């Protein structure tokens, strides 16, 4: 399979495990994108410095940047390609979530999406 096929397969696998659109909609603070970033750069060595929402800097993304409890962190169990595939599936989930938000609330730009996300997160 080529990369995009692997990502599509992984996305379907996530959905089969219960990570549905409705479940993804619960994550309004960038958790899907943060987890994707963590998977994408896991075990990369080099001079690049990454910053994730003020959680830290350094080569790669610090382990404590992972947005969910450690028991859900599967990065150690994947090869480099598998981590990239998971990252791609998580990015797709975040894109889909944002598009649903745009459609549901008629927002026109990213600032409005973020405003709706913030309002929903705080119960407003």
Mean pLDDT of 25-31: 92
Can you tell me which residue has the tokens 């399979």?
A: 1
How high is the pLDDT of residue 110? 64
Rounded Cα distance, 99 and 117, in Å: 12
How high is the pLDDT of residue 16? 95
Report pTM.
Answer: 0.78
Q: Is the pLDDT of residue 121 over 80?
A: no
Helix axes 110-121, 80-105, angle to 10 degrees: 90
Mean pLDDT of 103-120: 74
CB neighbourhood size of 57 (10 A):
12
């Amino acid at each position: 399979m080529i990369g995009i096929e692997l990502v599509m397969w992984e996305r379907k696998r996530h959905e089969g495990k219960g990570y549905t659109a409705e479940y993804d909609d619960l994550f309004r603070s960038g958790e899907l994108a943060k987890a994707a970033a963590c998977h994408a750069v896991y075990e990369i060595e080099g001079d690049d410095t990454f910053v994730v929402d003020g959680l830290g800097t350094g080569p790669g993304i610090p382990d404590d940047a992972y947005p969910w409890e450690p028991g859900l962190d599967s990065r150690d169990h994947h090869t480099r390609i598998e981590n990239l595939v998971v990252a791609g599936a998580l990015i797709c989930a975040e894109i889909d979530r944002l598009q649903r938000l745009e459609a549901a609330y008629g927002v026109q730009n990213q600032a409005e999406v973020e405003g709706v996300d913030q309002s929903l997160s705080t119960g407003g």
